């Protein structure tokens, strides 16, 4: 007998409770309290899966909730110092501000926990009447006659072998006249939508980085509230993009993180190991000494910029925020653009609902994006990523600076608009010809192993459930990836999910799915594109606090 599911209908369904989804939800209710809005979030609560830097450009928040200060938004630490360092192994060279055009300035910005800001935005949305369901991942699309009609939440109570446990509850259908996808970088349903509606056609491939982050508490004497520090160079080799960030905020908090561009070539590279090494630089170690690490996590970040922005709307819905990819890479900022695109899509959806429409493509949103300050924000920095990928850090840095200056001052670029070339999964070189990288052993004070890090992420999944990291061909990790690339999943996964275990019968690929922090790196970087990340049972995943 076919299974019956509960079904609920709304004007607008929103998938994902990050800055994009929450800003969209709030804007919809601001446009009309009569519009019914439901928001699904896979984390156990709003903010539980949000990991960011984060230096917030408050531009979008000012537009969305102008009196956010009076309403008690957790946006308190103003940026007071803005430093940029180039690291060699033993020294940190401060780069003068004159190298960077005004668009790079952090004046007027705030250091926040984006996770906390999302919690607060969630409260604002609920106060306006948005129905928020945390712990409910949108697992499948409802597509009828070529139109997205909503989503189906994940089933509960399915055992690892697929049988239904006593606790089995089928997922619910949430139907909407429009569905906005705000899943963030490499959304699992957004990826399906991209393929189904050809949203990336005629665009450059999306590019990504992996961002790893720790939260520290520093001794008061070392805490420089309002300090923003960005660094590049050591320990990454010249042909690997990425860098370090360190933000001092709140009561002695220090957010320190490391981004590695996922178009790296050396399969021996371990982003987690690079992050740990970066902290041992004398200039950084000094700032952290005597401090205590209290949080850890990782998340992919979009880096493709304007060239990679897909078509945003399709029949019945649209992509908003980093599900489409609006991060300004040189500024390492995406949350303001995520919020603004959420607001633009909400305005288009509200107008459509009020006009009695349903299920068409929200083309007004595509047009509004092109006219918006988001598109301008991204256009000015469009060559930063391609130059970095082509030329390596040393040569690219001055040219990126020059390009951003000419763009900002005269509206022109000497390079036109450069493309990105290959997608990130295609950039690895064979392990045999690549230099092995030796990572120092963790000392337990400044540097740590994956297991103790994972503990701080609060990651938890129901153990008896189907593995949510799906292998198209279970043989590929051992038969192809191991001989060719020394199976890089063992190293790029920041949570130790993938292991190659040597047994008497030969090597075996093991997936410790319960460790997953939902960063999505495996879905992006696996050279065979053999791994698909799907949503696990609701509420599973990290439980970030102050991240
Ligand atoms: C290490 C790092 C540092 C960064 N630093 C900065 C910074 O300093 N300043 C800045 O402005 N930006 C920064 N960014 C970028 C910024 O975090 C993103 O641009 C922003 O979070 C994007 O917002 P979003 O709402 O689109 O997606 P996300 O913030 O990723 O939120 C997506 C939400 O949707 C949920 N979700 C996903 N799929 C589903 C599903 N199928 N069902 C239900 N729920 C789902 C997720 O659990 C999550 O809560 C940084 C990013 C990283 C990784
Ligand atoms: S399994 Fe994939 S999504 Fe999960 S933590 Fe590892 S790389 Fe990230």
* Shortest-distance atom of ligand 2 to CA 523: 2
Q: Which two tokens stand for residue 250?
A: 């709140």
Q: Which two tokens stand for residue 515?
A: 């460790």
Question: How far, in Å, from the CA of 438 to the mean position of ligand 2?
Answer: 22
Instruction: Give pLDDT, residue 1.
Output: 52
Listed in sequence order, the DSSP H helices in 355-392 are 363-371, 373-379, 384-391
Question: How far, in Å, from the CA of 439 to the mean position of ligand 2?
Answer: 21
Nearest to 424 by CA among 498, 331, 523: 523
Sign of the CA dihedral 265, 275, 377, 82? negative
* Smallest CA separation from ligand 1 atom 37, residue: 183
Residue ranges of E strands in 286-409: 292-302, 313-314, 317-319
Sign of the CA dihedral 512, 513, 516, 518? positive
* Smallest CA separation from ligand 1 atom 10, residue: 333
CA distance 471 to 532: 7
CA distance 457 to 212: 11
Q: Which two tokens stand for residue 372?
A: 């918006």
CA distance 169 to 82: 51
Question: How far, in Å, from the CA of 338 to the mean position of ligand 2?
Answer: 23
DSSP assignment of 172-224: PEEEEEEEEE---TT-HHHHHHHHHHTTTTTSPPP-EEEEEEEEEE--GGG--
* Smallest CA separation from ligand 2 atom 6, residue: 493
* Smallest CA separation from ligand 2 atom 2, residue: 522
pLDDT, mean of each 10-residue run, the chain (547 residues): 84 98 98 98 98 97 98 98 95 89 94 98 98 98 98 96 94 98 98 98 97 98 97 96 98 97 98 98 97 98 98 98 97 97 98 98 98 96 96 94 93 93 97 96 97 96 95 98 98 98 96 98 98 96 97
Based on the number of CB atoms within 10 Å of its own CB, is 186 exposed (0-12), middle (13-18) or buried (19 or more)?
A: buried
What does each C-alpha distance from 120 to 108, 124, 216 come to in angstroms? 21, 6, 22
Residue 497: CA atoms inside 13 Å, Cβ hemisphere, count? 28
pTM exceeds 0.95, yes or no: yes
Pocket of ligand 1 (CB under 6 A): 15-21, 40-43, 49-56, 114, 137-138, 182-185, 187-189, 211, 213, 257, 259, 299, 301, 321-323, 327, 332-336, 338, 535
**Residue 504 · residue 439 · CB < 8 Å:** no
**144 cis-preceded (ω within 30 degrees of 0):** no
CA distance 240 to 264: 5
* Shortest-distance atom of ligand 1 to CA 300: 53
């Amino acid at each position: 007998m076919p299974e019956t599911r509960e079904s609920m209908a709304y004007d607008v369904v929103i998938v994902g409770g990050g800055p994009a989804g929450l800003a969209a939800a709030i804007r919809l209710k601001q446009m009309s309290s009569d519009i019914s809005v439901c928001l699904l979030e896979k984390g156990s609560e709003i903010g539980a899966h949000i990991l960011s830097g984060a230096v917030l450009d408050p531009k979008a928040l000012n537009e969305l909730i102008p009196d956010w200060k009076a309403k008690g938004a957790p946006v308190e630490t103003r940026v007071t110092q803005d430093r940029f360092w180039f690291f060699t192994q033993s020294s940190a060279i401060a780069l003068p501000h004159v190298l960077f055009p005004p668009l790079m300035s952090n004046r007027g910005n705030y250091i926040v926990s984006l996770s906390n800001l999302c919690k607060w935005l969630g409260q604002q949305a609920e106060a306006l009447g948005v129905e928020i369901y945390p712990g409910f991942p949108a697992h499948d699309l409802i597509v009828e006659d070529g139109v997205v009609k909503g989503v189906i939440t994940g089933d509960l109570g399915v055992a690892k072998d697929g049988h239904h446990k006593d606790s089995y509850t089928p997922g619910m259908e949430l139907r909407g006249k429009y569905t906005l996808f705000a899943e963030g970088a490499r959304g699992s349903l957004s990826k399906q939508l991209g393929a189904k509606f050809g949203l990336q056609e005629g665009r450059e491939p999306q590019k990504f980085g992996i961002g790893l982050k720790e939260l520290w508490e520093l001794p008061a004497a070392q805490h420089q509230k309002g300090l923003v520090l960005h660094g590049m160079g050591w320990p990454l080799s010249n042909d690997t993009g990425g860098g370090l960030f360190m933000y001092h905020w709140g009561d002695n908090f220090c957010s320190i993180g490391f981004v590695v561009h996922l178009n790296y070539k050396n399969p021996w590279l371990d982003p987690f190991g690079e992050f740990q090494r970066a902290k041992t630089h004398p200039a950084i170690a000094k700032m952290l000494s005597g401090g205590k690490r209290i949080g850890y996590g990782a998340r992919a970040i979009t880096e493709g910029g304007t060239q990679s922005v897909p078509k945003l709307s399709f029949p019945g819905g649209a992509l908003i925020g980093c599900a489409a990819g609006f991060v300004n890479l040189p500024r390492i900022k995406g949350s303001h653009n995520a919020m603004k695109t959420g607001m633009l899509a909400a305005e288009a959806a509200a107008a459509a609902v009020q006009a009695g429409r349903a299920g068409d493509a929200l083309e007004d949103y595509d047009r509004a994006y092109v006219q918006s300050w988001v598109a301008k924000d991204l256009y000015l920095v469009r060559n930063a990523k391609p130059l970095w990928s082509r030329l390596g850090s040393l040569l690219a840095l001055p040219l990126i600076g020059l390009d951003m200056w000419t763009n900002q001052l005269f509206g022109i670029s000497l390079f036109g608009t450069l493309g990105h070339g290959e997608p990130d999964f295609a950039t690895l070189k064979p392990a045999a010809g690549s230099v092995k990288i030796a990572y120092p052993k963790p000392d337990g004070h400044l540097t740590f192993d994956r297991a103790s890090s994972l503990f701080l992420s609060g990651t938890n999944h129901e153990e008896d459930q189907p593995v949510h990291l799906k292998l198209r061909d279970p043989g590929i990790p051992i038969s192809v990836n191991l001989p060719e690339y020394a199976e890089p999943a063992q190293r790029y996964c920041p949570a130790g999910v993938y292991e190659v275990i040597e047994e008497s019968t030969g090597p075996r690929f093991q997936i410790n799915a319960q460790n997953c922090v939902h960063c999505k790196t495996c879905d992006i970087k696996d050279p065979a594109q053999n791994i698909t990340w799907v949503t696990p049972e609701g509420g599973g995943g990290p439980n970030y606090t102050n991240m």
